[in-house]
Structure 1
Amino acid sequence: MTETTEDRKKRLFYQSHHRGQVENDILLGRFVRRHLDGFDDEALDALERLLGEADVDIWAWVTDMQPLPARHDNEVFALLRAEANRKA
């Protein structure tokens, strides 16, 4: 059975809020709440690949502690980085 776009978004929403690192729960959760509804299939693919990464790596890339791998150099990550730099 093929996953519907709605079910996929629900799964990605859940995965973004239930990470192993509290900082990523907050960052990714806030990011997904703001942007998920507007994501097309390509953006959902990019988000899904990112959520498959380890929390420590995501945090290091967002905070520029480690260089961002080319596989995640896309519009979704640019939005995430902007979200991280956004004032609360």
Structure 2
Amino acid sequence: MSTQRKSQDPYPDLGIRHAPQMEIDTPYPNLPPIPRPNEPLEKKRARLVYQSRKRGILETDLLLSTFAKQYLPEFSMELLEKYDKLLDEPDWDIFYWATDKKAVPDYLQQNEVLDMIREHAKNENKVVLRMPDLENGQ
């Protein structure tokens, strides 16, 4: 890969993170979110439904996909944006915050969407959760 191409690549080489000589402060890559200015409401909603079920960690997939199925159809643009920003957090952190296994950081203490996810995770009605069916070929 040319030096010019490498300097323009917005994604870091994650392979170097696992080299024995590398010391890292966090096990997660620090990638900035992809900007999506002027994303239409329904496109944002559809993207977030997809991103809720394709996280990479089954526990978080199940939690967020069932949450998205129940709540995202009624979310306003403001709530969708808060949810979108929350999805930028690492999967295990979201799962541990939602299940009260890890303290919620100060910057998320007043996040109403995370509060809703935490309530959803309690599953007080003891519903057997499964991945929601895809609709409209999504």
2:99–2:122 CA contact under 8 A, matched in 1: no
2-side partners of 1:6 and 1:12: how far apart?
10
Where does residue 65 of structure 2 map in the other structure?
A: 29
Where does residue 2 of structure 1 map in the other structure?
A: 38
Where does residue 40 of structure 1 map in the other structure?
A: 76
Name the Cα RMSD after superposition.
1.3
The number of aligned residues is 88
Q: Which runs of structure 2 are paired with 1:68-87 in the superposition (5 Å)? A: 68-73=104-109, 74-86=111-123, 87=126
Where does residue 60 of structure 1 map in the other structure?
A: 96
Identity within the alignment, %: 39
TM value normalised by structure 1: 0.91
Which structure 1 segments of 5+ residues have no match? none
1:61–1:68 CA contact under 8 A, matched in 2: yes
Q: Which has the higher contact order (CA 8 A, sep 6+)?
A: 1
The offset of 1:2, in angstroms, is: 2.8
What amino acid sits opposite 1:32 in the alignment? A
Q: Secondary structure at the match of 1:47?
A: helix
Q: Tell me which structure has the larger Cα radius of gyration.
A: 2
Post-superposition CA distance 1:11-66 (Å, at most 9, x none): 00000000111011110000000000111122111100111111111111112221
2-side partners of 1:3 and 1:43: how far apart?
14
